[in-house]
Structure formats: C-alpha cells, structure tokens
Chain A
Amino acid sequence: MIGKIAYRLALAAVLAVGAGAAGPIPASEAAQAEAGALQKLIDEAPHGSTVVLPAGDYDGELVVDKPLVVQGEGVTLHSGAADKPAVAVRADFASISGLSIVKDSGGEAAAVLVEGDGVRVEGLRIVTRTIGIQLQESDGSVIRNNAVEATPELLGRSARASERRNGIDLYRSHGNTIENNRVSSMFDGIYLEGSNNTAVRGNVVDFSRYGVHLMYTRNTEVEGNRGSHNVTGIMAMVSRGGTIAGNAFKLQKGSVNSQGMLFYEVEDMQVTGNELVGNRVGLYIERSANNVWMGNDVSYNFVGIQLLDSADNELAGNRFVSNVIETMADGSAGNRIEGNYWDAFQGLDPNGDGKSDLAYPMNPFFQRLTKDTPAFQLFFQSPGMKFLEGLMAADSADWTRDRAPLMEQPALAGAADSAAEPAASGATATAGAALLLAASTIILLGVRKR
C-alpha cells in the first residue's frame, strides 16, 4: 500500500517534470505486487534487449521507457487505475507484443498509450472501457494484428455513445501504419486527428460508431478495411489527399444517420473499388471538391448516393444496383459524372459504344423538400411522391446528371451479385399450393348450389 502511494507520487512528479522524458522508475518504488515484478524486468533490461515476460495474470500498469522488445505471450494484465494507461510506451523504437490487457477502469487513460516514435504494437488483445491504443505525437509507428473490444456488457450492441471510447486513436501522429487490427463495439474504430501520411489497411471494425474516422488529415491511405453494423463505415471530414480503396462496408442502416461512407469538405481524394452494400445511404458527399470516385459498387442501399453542394469531382465507372432511391443530388451540377451504371435508368445507345446517348438527370425535388422540412422524409418512396417528382421535372437545367450512363453493369472486383441467400423453393411452393387450395375452397364453397 505504501509502495503504491509512493509509486503514484513518483509518477506524478515525473509527469510534472515532463512526461515523455521520464527516466526509469527505480524498481524499489514500482509497486503493484505482481505487475511490479514485470516492471522490474523491464527496468533491469539493458537498452535494445528483448524482455520476455513470464506468463500469468498480473494487476497494475507497465511503463516502457527505453528501446526494448517486450514480449508478453500468455500474460494478462488487469489495470484498474483510471488515471494511468495499462501500458505506456514512452521510448522511441520500443516494441510490445502478445499481451492481453483488461482495462475496465473507465477514466481518460488509454489501455495502451504510445508516445515514442517508431514504436511497434503487435498482437495485443485489449478489452477496455477506455481508448484501446492511443498514439500521441508518435511518428512512424506500426500498430498491427491487435484486437480491441469493449467490455462484455457492451459487446455487439448499440450502447450510448458516451459509454464508449475510440479503438485506435491517433492524435498529431504522422507516417504510422495501422494494419490488420480488429475493433468491435467501440466509439470510432480507428480515429485519426491531425495526423498525416497514415496507412490504414486490412482492419475490421463492427458495432462501433464510425469504422475509420479521418479529421483534419492529409494523404491517408485507407485500403482493404471491412466493417458492418457501424453507424458509418468511413467518415472523412475536412481532409485532403490520399486514397480510399478496396474497402467493404455493409449493413450500416440501423441508425438514422448511418451510411457506408461520408465525405465532408474533402479534397483531392481517390476513392476506388469500394463495396457499399445494404447501408442506409451508400455514398454521402457534401461540400467536397476535386475528388475521384471510380469503380465503386453501391448496391442494396436505401439511397445510393447523396451528393450535395460539391463541384469538380469525377464520378465514373461506379455501379448502382437495387438501391431503393438511387440518387439524392442537389447543387452539384458542376461535376464530371459519366459512365456509371444505374439499374433504374433506361438508356439509349444507337451507336453501340456501351454508353447511353441519353443523360441520366437526378431529380433534386425530394432532396430539397426533405432538407427544408425533414418531416416529409415520411414520403420516402411513397407512390405519390414519384408522381409529384414527375410533375416537378420541368426545370431540369441545373440538375446533376450522368452525361453518358453505362448500358451494362461494369465488372467490378468483389461486386455483390446478390444480397440474398438462395431461395428455399420447396417451402415457397408448399405455401403457394396451400394458398391456392385455400382460395379455391372458398371460391368453390361460394359458387356451390345448395
């Protein structure tokens, strides 16, 4: 107990002097009976060596403040301190791998805090009520093969956002790689703020708020990530440059604000070959310019694409199939939109070049109506709404339009051919026969003379 207090005082003193530059904490002062033993191993190891932590369950927190390779296969670390991360990596070029971490303290301290540059965090399993892995001004680090999930009572269901923290959180950290991690039931799966040149590849995020959230970033490369049941798959806001390619986000339709991908004030981004299937809105684009959306598969969403007040973008070779409403576009006449496939559009191709000579105009009536009065959203796909839209089609000069829509679906890698499982025709046939029989019986009873 006294040791614990001493450790806290020491830590407070160290933090007051300046966090990143903390010297090694003397083993005698490090407390927490069991985690203290691990800390001692770390403290005693020479610079650049490998420390293999002995397997077992430990209570407490660890600090890595010199370039070590810390391996913790079979180690489970429980941290209940609200003000300290379970593992703090303060040194440049340190690495940590293999641990299981349970951080059920709440509070603001992350499960794993990385402050050094060139750090590797690999193969951790983190169950946490706070941020999973947090990078603060860390450059050139690699976060790979980790699993971050919420504590069991929050897993797999939609909880209040205030109960959750981000899975992997980068703040003013540049040139990092976030690869093959799995995040479930957190706030934002992977959150980048003011961080440039990050590669986010092959991660899986589900049951969280946003899958990948970019805020004020530049040149982020988001590739091959997957997710489902989030509010939004990829949320790019006020960001420039980079690519978003080959990601797949599905079934994000539970929330009234959900979508596959959202772009707000985004510039110079290449968005290619993504799959957005079964979401409330497939692609939501607002006030963005000079981006390219190409070869994306947007299918089975309630709204295919919502395109608002955007200009100078290119939208080509995308596939829009079986969306309840294909487009809600307004104020976006100044884009190069050409050669997309819209299954609800009947084109005309007299010269046989595979592109329609008729343009596909996008009626902005419903978008304008519901923007002014959201209550009218109740008329979504009402048969009378289509009638009214038809009446309001006179002034179509300023509409957004696809100049030359494709006549046939483009072949896209990984395109969803069908969201359905093969129909069980036996059951349908039986039910159909039963219905026929019942109907015929009623009819016969009716016409029978008696």
Chain B
Amino acid sequence: MNAVHVARREIKLGFRNPWSYSFLVLFTIFSLLLLLIGAQSPGGGYTSTTGSMLSLILYLLPLMTLLIGSFSLTAEKEEGSWQLLAVYPLRTSSFVFGKYAGLSLVLGAIVAFAFGASGVAGALAGGGFDLRTLLLFLVFSLLLVLLYLAVALLIGTVAANRWQALTYAVAFWFFTVIGWPTLLIASLGYLPYLWIKPALTALTLLNPAELVRLFVVVRLGGGSILGPDYYRWVEVMAGGWGPLLFAGICLAWIAGAGGIAVWAWERGRRHG
C-alpha cells in the first residue's frame, strides 16, 4: 500500500460523501451568482467587481475546504478505518500525503465543475466572464484550496472528533478571513511604530487567505494601492519571477503544515 492507494480511496470516499455534493451544488450556484455580479459592470483588471468576487470566494471556499478536509481525517479515527490501515505496512507520510492528494482532487473537481458551469452558462447567455478572468478566479480558488487543505489536515490530526474539528476549523477560518485586520490592528498597535510593517509582513505570510488575495491583487495590476511601503514586494510579485516565487512560498507553506500533520499523526500512531 502506498500514497496512490490512499489517494484513490480518498477520491472514492470523497464522492460517496453527500457533503461533497452539497458543496458542489452550493459552490456552483455561488459561481453562477458571481457571473451575474460580473455581468453588471464588466471590466478587466482590479475593479470593484473583481474585488468583490475575490471577497465572496474568500468567505466561502476556505471554510468549505477546512470542513471537508478536517472531517475526512477525523472520520478515519472515529470510524476505526485508521486502526485497520495502521496494521498495513503503510508509512504515515504516505497516508497523509495520499489524503492530501485525494482531497485536493475532490475539491479541485468541485471548483472546476462550478467555474466550468458558470463559464458555459455565461458564454451561452452572452456577456459572461472573459477567459482571463475565469482562469484567474480558478487559479485563485485552487490556491486557496491547496493552502487551506494543508491546514485542514493539521486540524484533522489534532482534533479528536468531528465536533472538535468543526470548532477549530471555524475558528481558523474566522481569524484568517474575517477577524484578521481587527486582530492585527488591535495587537500590532502595542508594538513600536517601526516594527509594525515587518511584523505585518511576517504575519501575512502566515495567513493563507491574505497571502493568496494579495498575490492575485498584485497580478491584477492593483499593487500600487498597497502604497510605498510594499513597493519592492509588489515589484517582485508583479514581475516574471513572481508566480514562481509565490509557488515556492505556497509549497513551503503546504510542506510546513503537512509536515507537522505527519509528525503529529506519527506520534499518535506510536503512542496509540
């Protein structure tokens, strides 16, 4: 047994899970709504339309990912299938990596289905997204899925059951998406003025929602609105090496969160 088996099993489990279908329907309806918003004031680049679409995706998708991802792991514990798997010669890292890959495909399929549907619907009705915007939102969504899924694995590892996972997932979602500016403005206010910007930059690297949002805003050409303080970051990210560098940051992020999950899971396996 190896990671591929786990991933295939995960896909199978994923699409037998009614949760996946309710999220599929939810996200498809949601992206069709985005289509309607987009049709009201078309325009490329960083405008209020693209800005609000990014916000709407940020509200829904991370929460969805956290729930599906963390529940998938806690289910293994609660339903006893992990106890069974643990007697096979399966490395913990293969198990966690297989879970991650499988869940990425499940969530990726949901996101692709939703944007595919709105792409076709928009084109049929006339006045839908242009291709570039559609692809940009797809990439934005997939990045959010990949980063939040790594966190979801961590939550699923730490939480003993679904209810704990739900609590942790909602808390993480709330603090990274909704409460983030409040949290930082309140706490960074106590730092000396000159420390605020470096602290803010470092903390932003820890928040997958802000990280992905800022990257997309910069790629949309909106970097100048972040002001002179971030001029260098914006220049780098908007340049040719930007996507590569960003991919590196994302990989480090996923490897970090996934690594901790593997370590914690392994520890649980040893100590039973």
Using a CB–CB distance below 8 Å, which chain A residues touch chain B?
A: 253-258, 278, 280, 300, 302-303, 321-326, 343-344, 369-370, 373-388, 391, 418-421, 423-429, 431-440, 442-443, 445-447
Contacts and interface: CB of A to CB of B under 8 A. Distances in A.
Contacts of A421: 44, 130
Interface string B151-186: 000000000000000000000000001111110110
B67 interface: no
Q: Which of B41, B49, B110, B124 has the largest count of A CB atoms less than 10 A from its CB? A: B41
Contacts of B181: 376, 379, 382, 384-385, 387-388
Given A369-B185, A378-B204, A442-B11, A383 B47 contact: no
B51 A387 contact: no
Which of B105, B117, B120, B179 has most A Cβ within 10 Å? B120
Contact of B45 (A381, A419, A428): A419
B126 interface: yes
Interface string B131-156: 10011001000000000000000000
Contact of A446 (B12, B210, B231): B12
Which among B42, B54, B214, B228 has the greatest number of chain A C-beta atoms within 10 A?
B42
24 contacts: A255-B224, A302-B225, A322-B47, A374-B229, A375-B200, A378-B226, A378-B229, A379-B184, A380-B226, A381-B51, A382-B210, A383-B59, A423-B127, A428-B122, A428-B130, A429-B123, A431-B131, A432-B117, A432-B118, A435-B138, A436-B117, A439-B113, A442-B105, A443-B109
A44 B44 CA distance: 61
A42 to B, nearest CB: 49
Nearest to B128: A428
B208 interface: no
B163 to A, nearest CB: 26
A424 B47 contact: no
B42 to A, nearest CB: 4
Contacts of B15: 443, 446-447
B267 interface: no
B134 A378 contact: no
A386 B47 contact: no
Contact of B46 (A302, A344, A386, A427): A302
A383 B134 contact: no
B185 A388 contact: yes
Contact of A419 (B14, B47, B128, B222): B47
A423 B185 contact: no
A434 B196 contact: no
A387 B47 contact: no
Given A254-B224, A256-B224, A440-B113, A322 B58 contact: no
Contacts of B204: 378
Contacts of B115: 432, 435
B257 interface: no
A428 B134 contact: yes
B29 interface: no
Closest 5 pairs between A and B when the two form their complex, measured CB to CB: A432-B119, A435-B116, A429-B123, A436-B116, A446-B15
Contact of B179 (A256, A384, A439, A445): A384
Contact of B221 (A253, A369, A426): A253
B270 interface: no
Contacts of B180: 379, 382, 384
B225 A324 contact: yes
A227 to B, nearest CB: 17
Contact of A439 (B112, B134, B184): B112
Interface in B45-91: 45-49, 51, 54-55, 58-59
B193 interface: yes
B228 A322 contact: no
A377 B48 contact: no
B5 interface: no
B18 interface: no
A26 B229 CA distance: 59
B235 to A, nearest CB: 10
A302 B222 contact: yes
A440 B114 CA distance: 11
B248 interface: no
Contact of B197 (A253, A344, A375, A388): A375
A375 B120 CA distance: 41
Contact of B225 (A380, A383, A391, A425): A380
Given A429-B119, A439-B109, A447-B15, 13 more contacts: A374-B229, A375-B196, A376-B184, A378-B210, A387-B178, A421-B44, A425-B126, A431-B131, A432-B119, A432-B122, A435-B113, A435-B116, A436-B120
B225 to A, nearest CB: 4
B236 to A, nearest CB: 15
Contacts of A425: 122-123, 126, 128
